[in-house]
């Protein structure tokens, strides 16, 4: 839900303006209207923004760049020496000092590599052979060696290179210690400076968003305050000794009114998902109360496995209580736990847990599971997968697939109703006759048909009801979609809308099959890992002792992989159904600005 705002316009004598701004910041409830003109060109503001970015960067990584560069240089040098050590290791260990002494005595060693097929034994002393390559050394005269061999330069032995690595590791430990020491000594100072810079930025932005009037004698400022804080703000303003005049009014369409959301604990969990698309305009409805339950349902259907739901609950709780620290999931423990609960419930009714078919495991209660078929031979009735497979009946349809399509139809119809109500609130009923026409035609037509079917109404009555709805809708769609415009233009616009709706609605509805397909794919892949594990066990759990280790490894690795892939798909595809299918049909714009009051 969106908090109601009041628009404030302040008129302040220029000598009292700083006192006024100080009191306004102390109140901490006014969101100052941002005016883009002049902000980007102000050098002082840009300098402060740059400094804020520098401080934030240093605090985020834990030390200045030069300290991390020193650490990176040492790590690169160690990696290069290890690579050289691996190259030298094939020649065995030796002392470069002794090799130098031999050279001074006239016994110069030359190291060569040569393909085995071209090697001649009289060339020198073969040290080893590796991957079809001969490694050999010559002492003194190497004139017999042909160009088929490649000479290798060796400066240090494996032992000597390891000594270099050990020395650099000592320097690396010292570099890391300097980073930790810097953070302990400077973190508080940097955090304090960051707060001061942010205060200066806020102050500078407010002054730049101030307009002058009466030849600079008056300062004009515009802002917005939540209605619940207006009484507190008015009391502070009235107590000021500054020369001040202000007035309040309700925001209107076109004002840059910020939005402040207030939702219950459950809906608040899903507010970040709304923010990923864009915050609502002040005149729009907050989509989060509708997004929250549907996203939970969509995610749960895409996962479709009660066992994975249990794992998500455990992971979410561990993250929430800081027992499991994953930076990308920081603060997301509650929503992961909630999604896990939804997956557990939906996965149970879909009849799958860790890739196992629950209707086969619990045949006495298989009527609880929605993973079977509805058949029409001998009467319409529901059958579980196991019962359907054993019955030999042909035909029928999958309950989960039909359920996904029905949810999609309801979701789109709800979006159309929301659009009609929201646009009517913002622009008036007369300007939205076309929108109401489409809502009546699709939503009203489906509702009327279902009611007539439920009441077993005669076919003639059903036809009359549907024709009446279509006739009334057609007037709004083709004749009055834009009141006051040429009727021929309205008809042309209505025909274009008809084409878009006919092609769009069908595609949007079919998109919801992914809820069924993803859940089915995850269940089948989980079942495949189970079958693979049973194959190792010889088709049963009574295998030999040695078979249990690969059996357990296959199950653990397989289900972790399937959980990760299923969770990724279950996160992305419900977002698509929300951001594309729902938001498009609900007319959601998502171009609002979050309420950010001027405060300390």
Residue 216 lies in a domain: no
What's the order of all strands across the beta sheet hosting 125-130? 125-130, 133-139, 109-115, 150-152
Q: Is residue 556 in some structural domain? A: yes
Alpha carbon distance 43, 39 (integer Å): 9
* Residue where one domain finishes, among candidates 118, 136, 156: 156
For 479, the domain range is 283-595
Q: Return the percentage of the chain with pLDDT > 90, whole number.
A: 29
Total-model pTM = 0.75
> Considering the domain boundaries, does residue 427 fall inside one?
yes
User: Does residue 306 form part of some domain?
Assistant: yes
pLDDT at 478 over 70: yes
Query: Is position 383 within any domain?
Result: yes
Q: Are 150 and 118 in contact (CB under 8 A)?
A: no
Pick from 448, 475, 477, 442: nearest CA to 463: 448
Q: Are residues 289 and 148 in the same domain?
A: no
Residue 572 tokens read as 């992305």
By CB atoms closer than 10 A (0-12, 13-18, 19+), residue 188 is: exposed
CB 279 within 8 A of CB 590: yes
166: which 2 tokens? 């050990």
Q: Which of 156, 180, 202 is at the close of a domain?
A: 156
The verdict on 325 and 462 lying in the same domain is yes
Does 361 have pLDDT greater than 90?
Answer: no
Please state, in angstroms and rounded to a whole number, the distance separating the CA atoms of residues 153 and 91: 11
Please tell me whether residues 546 and 411 are part of one structural domain.
yes
- 5-39 residue pLDDT tens: 999 999 988 888 888 888 888 889 999 887 755 56
**What distance in Å separates the CA atoms of residue 278 and residue 314, rounded to the nearest whole number?**
31
Which residue reads 């709805």 in tokens? 469
- For residue 200, give Cα distances in angstroms to 192, 331, 464, 524: 13, 29, 69, 58
Cβ neighbours of residue 18 under 8 Å, at least 6 residues apart? none
Q: Does residue 15 fall inside a structural domain?
A: no
- Whether the pLDDT of residue 378 is over 80: the answer is no
DSSP-based three-state secondary structure for 257: coil
Residue 100: the pLDDT is 85
- pLDDT exceeds 90 at position 166: yes
Q: pLDDT band for position 600 (50/70/90)? A: confident
How far is Cα of residue 524 from the mean position of the Cα atoms in its chain?
A: 26
Helix (H, G, I), strand (E, B) or coil at 148: coil
State the distance between the two ends of the chain, measured CA to CA, in whole angstroms.
Answer: 26
Paired tokens of 255: 């004002």
Domain count, the chain: 2
**Does 360 fall in a domain?**
yes
Query: Minimal CA–CA distance to 302: which of 545, 22, 566?
Result: 566
Q: Which of 156, 180, 196 is the last residue of a domain?
A: 156
Among 431, 432, 436, 445, smallest CA distance to 416 is for 436
In a domain, 339, yes or no: yes
- What whole-number distance in Å separates Cα of residue 580 and Cα of residue 583? 6
pLDDT digits (tens, 9 = 90+) for 482-514: 777 877 887 888 888 888 887 788 888 889 999
Which pLDDT score, from 0 to 100, does residue 55 have? 86
């Amino acid at each position: 839900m969106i908090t109601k705002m009041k628009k404030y316009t302040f008129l302040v004598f220029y000598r009292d303006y700083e006192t006024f701004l100080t009191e306004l910041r102390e109140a901490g409830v006014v969101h100052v209207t941002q005016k883009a003109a002049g902000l980007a060109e102000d050098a002082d503001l840009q300098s402060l923004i740059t400094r804020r970015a520098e401080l934030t960067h240093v605090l985020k990584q834990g030390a200045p760049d030069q300290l991390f560069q020193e650490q990176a240089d040492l790590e690169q040098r160690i990696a290069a020496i290890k690579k050289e050590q691996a190259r030298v290791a094939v020649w065995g260990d030796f002392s470069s000092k002794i090799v130098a002494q031999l050279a001074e005595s006239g016994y110069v060693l030359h190291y060569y590599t040569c393909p085995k097929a071209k090697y001649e034994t009289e060339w020198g002393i073969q040290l080893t052979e590796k991957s079809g390559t001969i490694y050999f050394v010559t002492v003194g005269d190497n004139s017999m060696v042909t160009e088929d061999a490649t000479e290798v330069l060796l400066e240090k032995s494996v032992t000597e290179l390891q000594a270099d690595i050990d020395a650099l590791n000592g320097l690396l430990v010292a570099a890391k210690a300097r980073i930790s020491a810097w953070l302990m000594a400077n973190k508080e100072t940097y955090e304090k400076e960051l707060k001061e810079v942010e205060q200066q930025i806020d102050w500078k932005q407010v002054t730049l968003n101030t307009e002058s009037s009466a030849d600079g004698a008056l300062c004009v400022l515009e802002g917005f305050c939540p209605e619940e804080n207006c009484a507190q703000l008015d009391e502070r303003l009235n107590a000021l000794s500054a020369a001040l005049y202000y007035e309040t009014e309700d925001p209107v369409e076109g004002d840059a009114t910020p939005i402040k959301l207030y939702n219950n604990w459950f809906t608040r969990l899903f507010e970040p998902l709304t923010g990923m698309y864009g915050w609502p305009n002040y005149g729009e409805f907050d989509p989060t109360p509708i997004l929250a339950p549907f996203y939970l349902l969509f995610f749960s259907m895409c996962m479709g496995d009660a066992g994975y739901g249990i794992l998500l609950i455990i992971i979410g709780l561990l993250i929430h209580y800081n027992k499991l620290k994953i930076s990308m999931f920081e603060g997301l423990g509650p929503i992961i736990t909630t999604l896990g609960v939804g997956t557990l419930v939906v996965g149970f009714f879909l009849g799958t847990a860790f890739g196992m078919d629950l209707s086969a495991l619990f045949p006495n209660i298989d009527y609880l599971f929605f993973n079977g078929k509805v058949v029409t031979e001998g009467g319409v009735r529901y059958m579980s997968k196991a019962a359907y497979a054993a019955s030999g009946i042909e035909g029928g349809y999958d309950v989960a697939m039909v359920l996904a399509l029905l949810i999609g139809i309801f979701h789109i119809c709800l979006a159309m109703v929301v659009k009609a109500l929201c646009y009517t609130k913002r622009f008036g009923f007369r300007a939205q006759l076309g929108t109401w026409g489409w809502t009546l035609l699709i939503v009203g037509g489906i509702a009327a048909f279902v009611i007539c079917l439920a009441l077993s109404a005669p076919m003639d009555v059903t036809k009359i009801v549907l024709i009446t709805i279509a006739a009334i809708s057609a007037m709004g769609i083709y004749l009055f979609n834009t009141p006051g415009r040429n009727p021929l233009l309205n008809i042309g616009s209505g025909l274009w809308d008809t084409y878009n709706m006919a092609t769009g609605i069908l595609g949007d509805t079919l998109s919801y099959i992914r809820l069924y397909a993803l859940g089915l794919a995850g269940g089948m892949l989980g079942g495949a890992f189970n079958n693979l594990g049973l194959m190792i066990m010889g088709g049963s759990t009574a295998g030999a002792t040695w078979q249990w280790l690969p059996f357990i490894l296959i199950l653990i690795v397989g289900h972790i992989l399937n959980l990760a892939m299923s969770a990724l798909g279950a996160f992305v595809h419900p977002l698509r159904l929300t951001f594309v299918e729902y938001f498009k049909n609900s007319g959601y714009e998502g171009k609002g600005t979050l309420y950010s009051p001027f405060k300390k």
